[in-house]
Structure 1
Amino acid sequence: MSELVGTRVPMYTPEFAADPHRVYRETRERYGSLVPVELAPGVPATLVVGYRTAVRILNDPERFPADPRAWQAGVPADCPVLPMMQWRPNALRNAGTEHARYRQTNTAGLTGIDHYGLQGTVERVAVSLINSFCAAGSADLVRDYAFPLAFRVLNQLLGCPVEIAAQAAEGFRAVFEGVGADRGNKMLIDALLELTQHKRAHPGHDVTTRMLHHPAGLTDTEMVHQLATLYGAGIEPQQNLIVNAILLLLVDDRFRGSALGGSLSTREALDEVLFDDPPMANFCISFPPRAVLIDDCWLPAHQPVVISMAACNTDPAIRTAEFAGNRSHLAWGAGPHACPASSLAYLIAQEAVDQLLDALPELHLTIPATELTWRPGPFHRALLSLPVAFTPAPPLPEPH
């Protein structure tokens, strides 16, 4: 038994973002399943890169609770990862009865979504966006397609008016980027409070209204933080899932040989992305309230333990025929904090990819894949841009 010691691996650098899988490989060989890392300068954590170890931690909320309050007491207010990790009255950052109360409310709001209607919503948004650039013969699929699609679809699900949504989006991007994160956090909170009060006064058939009417009786403040969680899960990771799947379909010969846009190819690409390049590569953070022994190693109290879904999914110990070709990945998490909206995210991504590739089957990258830039940050796996070209095409008919 030992403490985790060694040079901490920085997870916030452009070098890490450019080739994280090399870092996962090398650190696994050096440290085993538990790697000492820095999430930001001066912010130590343990990164879990072993699949079976991660599953044990994710299913052990007593020793590995998600409440960060003791940790954040010693973190400066301007820490760039604090807005992503700090305590909030939501399911993501609580344990026990409070976690159950918040999660039940979220689940009730999401369960009321009609999957068939959602497919139609994604189609309408996708066609509108494709029509905005199809005649140009080129586009950046991050800026022009994946981000606005995830944003618009989520706002329709939440019943969020356009002007409130614009402020929320700007705030959340700052939080995710860690640039002006404190100001971004305030912008997001203010926008979501306005949405909460708007839906109390003007209820509708949407996720926000269903959550407001749940028997748990959440306050305005609590509702703001549930909505912040939905924005966090519904925009950035959704955008990354769509973009990473499109990239795989465009550059991998296994997919290029089939009809682009065919649903089977899209499903296979999504599953592979969720295994190898999940949109949230490192997350599912817990904060042990006391020193804890796991894998013959003592982890210190109140120091973040971060699950690397990307590294765990590619752990050689589980990449065997037993796991190949199925959905045993950890991209949605596991245990009591597993993502309750995974089927919705999958549906949105598949419809978004299919609509694009059906409309523009000759889509191709304008630069080599090796020259694409991955955005720095310890948590996401996100391209800065995805520039493509195609034969200019007339606008698609608008679906009814």
Structure 2
Amino acid sequence: MITRQSRAGGVSIESLGPRTKLYTPAFAIAPYAAYERMRQGGRTLAPVELAPDVPATLVLGYHTAVRILNDPDRFPADPRNWQKSLPADHPLRPMLEWRPNPLRTAGKEHAFYRDALIHALAVVDLHAVREHTIRVATELINQFCLNGDAELIEDYITPVVITVLNETVGCPPGIGNRLRPAFAAMFEGVNTDEVNMQVASGLFKLIENKRRDPGRDIASVLVHDCPGLSDQERMSQLVTIYSACIEPVRNLIANTMRRMLTDPRYRPDTAQFTPPVRDAVKETLANDPPMANLCNSYPRQPVLIDGVWLPADQPVLVSMAAATTDPAIVGNKGWTDNNSHLAFGSGPHACPHIAREMSQQIAVEAIAHFFDALPEAELAATTDEVPWRPGPFHRAPAAVPVAFPPAPPLPIPVGPASRK
């Protein structure tokens, strides 16, 4: 137990005030105000709760975050010692518990699983991803364009992301649609047993499907070209892919579209010029990242950093949202002109390059196609009326309602060739 006054002149994380509850609706409504309160006095670390009676440390400072993310020896990602303190049915388990994948392992084990994942991702064809996104986006827009209104998350964003991801992974729609609510529940920390059962059942069915009927897709590579993996390990690599794509990409699109619908800079000017969608996506990644607090690590022994002692076997989360809006780094200007944000992490656990490109490709094409088709769309509520989904990890609007003049259906483009 670390005392409130440290050896070596530091203080314990517990001494820095009451723990901020990251799981409440109040935090979801105003997280950036909470980050400002937590960093009063120039603090780079803050005590938080991920759920009732589940303590953790939140990293607020940008430079501190980069140091931690690039120091896997002192800040390993393996949660096995920590998770012994959680009941088997705790709602945080599906999101944070150990799995044989690159997100939840350390050392040689992490290197082995990351190599397998990157090998499987190499099959991704970004041109096909773009074509498929445009085709799916067109089909979805045609379902509501005559109505004059839509709720973008359910009517457009989620089905775009799910459909394109299923195509890229090689997952039949029936299995993919069953996985969607399970991964949403995983990020919200609810229904532990049901989440684990739905995820495992769906992904093992996908593995068996690919064993019988392979194609040119991620799942087929994992099954047929990664012989060192067991089916349990293959399933866990697929958990990584789905959890890294469904919720983060959906939130990236939703947050960016909300930004473009409310920020005058992203509305057409008198010359009908609009800043590129890619700029809006980049700004969202930098200043309002879809995964706000994650990149977990679990020190094996007490660690002193920035004059604060962090206890062993307690989660340390990097706040990508707080770190990349750290006044010590960006002042009031934001990170819109560079790529130094932490939305994709940093260090050995950073998101692989091809996965970054794929997620941004889906986001840019889905957003651009919507506004090209319905340029007069407006948010059908005030910004205060748009609710936010509570949860310690994501930055996620619960709905993005829009209204627009009814428009005729678009011609369906020719889609990419089958991946078989």
What TM-score does the superposition give when structure 2 sets the normalisation length? 0.92
Pair 1:325 & 2:334 matched: no
Which runs of structure 2 are paired with 1:1-400 in the superposition (5 Å)? Answer: 1-4=10-13, 5=15, 6-30=17-41, 32-215=43-226, 217-258=228-269, 264-319=275-330, 325-340=337-352, 341-400=355-414
Give the whole-Å Cα distance in 1 for the aligned partners of 2:134 and 2:305. Answer: 47
Give the whole-Å Cα distance in 2 for the aligned partners of 1:323 and 1:250. Answer: 20
Residues 97, 221 of structure 1: alpha-carbon distance in 2 compared, 3 angstrom cutoff: same
Compute the RMSD of aligned alpha carbons: 1.7
Residues 75, 261 of structure 1: alpha-carbon distance in 2 compared, 3 angstrom cutoff: farther
Q: Is this contact kept in 1: 2:387–2:398, CA < 8 A? A: yes
SS of alignment partner, residue 147 of structure 2 = coil
Cα deviation code 1:290-334 (max 9, x no counterpart): 111110111000000000000001001110579551111000000
User: How far 1:261 moved relative to its partner?
Assistant: 11
User: How far 1:37 moved relative to its partner?
Assistant: 0.2
Residues 128, 323 of structure 1: alpha-carbon distance in 2 compared, 3 angstrom cutoff: closer
Give the whole-Å Cα distance in 2 for the aligned partners of 1:270 and 1:156. Answer: 23
Cα deviation code 1:53-96 (max 9, x no counterpart): 00000000000000000000111123222211000011100011
Cα deviation code 1:108-140 (max 9, x no counterpart): 121221111111010011111111111111000
Give the whole-Å Cα distance in 1 for the aligned partners of 2:70 and 2:302. Answer: 18
Work out the percentage of aligned pairs sharing the same amino acid. Answer: 50
Give the whole-Å Cα distance in 1 for the aligned partners of 2:39 and 2:254. Answer: 28
- Stretch of structure 1 that moved more, 168-177 or 368-377: 168-177
User: How far 1:265 moved relative to its partner?
Assistant: 2.5
Q: Which ranges of structure 2 fall in alignment gaps of 5 or more residues?
A: 1-9, 415-420
- Stretch of structure 1 that moved more, 95-104 or 37-46: 95-104
Residues 258, 269 of structure 1: alpha-carbon distance in 2 compared, 3 angstrom cutoff: farther
Give the whole-Å Cα distance in 1 for the aligned partners of 2:271 and 2:240. Answer: 33
Q: Which ranges of structure 1 fall in alignment gaps of 5 or more residues?
A: none
Give the whole-Å Cα distance in 2 for the aligned partners of 1:322 and 1:266. Answer: 17
Cα deviation code 1:315-365 (max 9, x no counterpart): 011105795511110000000010111111111100010010000001001
User: How far 1:176 moved relative to its partner?
Assistant: 2.0
Q: How many residues align?
A: 400
What TM-score does the superposition give when structure 1 sets the normalisation length? 0.97
Give the whole-Å Cα distance in 2 for the aligned partners of 1:356 and 1:257. Answer: 14
SS of alignment partner, residue 327 of structure 2 = coil
Residues 354, 370 of structure 1: alpha-carbon distance in 2 compared, 3 angstrom cutoff: same
Q: Is this contact kept in 2: 1:262–1:354, CA < 8 A? A: no
Give the whole-Å Cα distance in 2 for the aligned partners of 1:169 and 1:324. Answer: 31
Q: Which amino acid aligns with 2:11?
A: S
Q: Which amino acid aligns with 2:366?
A: A
Q: Which amino acid aligns with 1:338?
A: A
User: How far 1:262 moved relative to its partner?
Assistant: 7.4
